[in-house]
Amino acid sequence: MRRLSALTRAELDPTRRLLLNAGMYSLAALAVPEARQPQSEPPPVTTREPSQAGRAETEQMQTMARVFAEAAQLHGPDHLRTALAAYLAHDVSGYLQASATASQHRRALSGAAQLTLLLGTMCAGSGADALAQHYHRTAAQLAAEAEDTATYAIALRTMSAHAHDLGHHTPAVLNLAERAAAVTRHTAPIIAAYAQAHLAVVQAHHNKHAALTALTTAERLHGLADAVPGPFTHYPAGALHYQRAQTLATLGDRAGASGALTASLRLRGPGERHARTLTQARLAESLLAQGHLEAGLTHWQAFLDECPSLRSAPVTRRLDAMRRLLQPHSQHRATAQLLTDAAIFR
């Protein structure tokens, strides 16, 4: 709680925020404590604060988590990071210090863990990877303290996915993905599917059979899950197909990856704008790798059309990849025009 308060307050100071952003990402920091098993009801938590943290406050945190998650998908994370940090620094920190029963305090910790996880993901989307890691780790510890197994599993999965996105495929990253999947034995099927799908992505760098087994498990669990709206209770089918594409691409099945990305694109809803844009770029890359330049250009054009409205490090990385991959084809007229159009995004 002290670390969360210090980090979020530093976020609100422009000078200190620059220092936070300058930190170095560390694979050693992927180690996080085990979640505690639920205990019998302990005595009430009391502090010197006169305020109370009850159902209204935890419901407010759930609403804010949904609002911030939806806004990040529609507009990218850069515009929202400061607002979420301010909410955590001022309102949520107060809720965590307020007097409450033990169960109320655990619910407040759980809500804080989810909001902190969202803030970490926004920081990763802004390119502040070391700071994102601090927030993700803090979220995992808050979830462990709250005895919230589902949020704890999501935090472990998020940390592993962040490392993978940065190009790390080490045993430490795999271990974190395996821990997330193991924890979900005690969660709803949708959380287990979410963890298993990422496990498949990471396992593809280590063990083909294990990767395909995890992918099959994810698809089976997803089929058993109830659709409950919310950033921590819903795993869209489009996202599952995206992880399937990542797994197949690593295993060398380019045609299968393209098919999975096509399915992912078809299933992306209007609220998944950021994810849909990245899927367009990935599909274009996959098609070009199979020699389908014209088809790839169609998807890259769709990707480029969304870029003015989305600011994020993943979008920038896909722009850089597009320029690099298309440069050998720059004599092709349509390719040259696309590269010219992309020149304004620097």
CA–CA separation, 30 and 133 (whole Å): 8
| Reported confidence tier of residue 54, pLDDT bands at 50, 70, 90 | confident
Q: Looking at this protein, which amino acid is placed at residue 50?
A: P
The band of 256, judged by pLDDT with boundaries at 50, 70 and 90, is: very high
Question: In the structure, what pLDDT confidence band is assigned to residue 200 with cuts at 50, 70 and 90?
Answer: very high
- 90: DSSP letter: I
On the question of pLDDT at 341 being above 90, the answer is yes
* Model confidence band, residue 52 (pLDDT cutoffs 50, 70, 90): low
Q: Which pair of structure tokens corresponds to residue 251?
A: 């295993």
Q: What is the pLDDT of residue 36?
A: 57
Q: What is the pLDDT of residue 160?
A: 97
Phi (first) and psi of residue 54, to 5 degrees: -125, -155
> DSSP secondary-structure letter at 89?
I
| CA angle at 32 for the pair 176 and 71, rounded to the nearest 5° | 75
User: Any idea where the domains of the chain sit in the sequence?
Assistant: 1-17+76-147
Conformational region of residue 124, where left means phi above 0, alpha means psi within -120 to 50, and beta covers everything else: alpha
**pLDDT at residue number 261:** 98
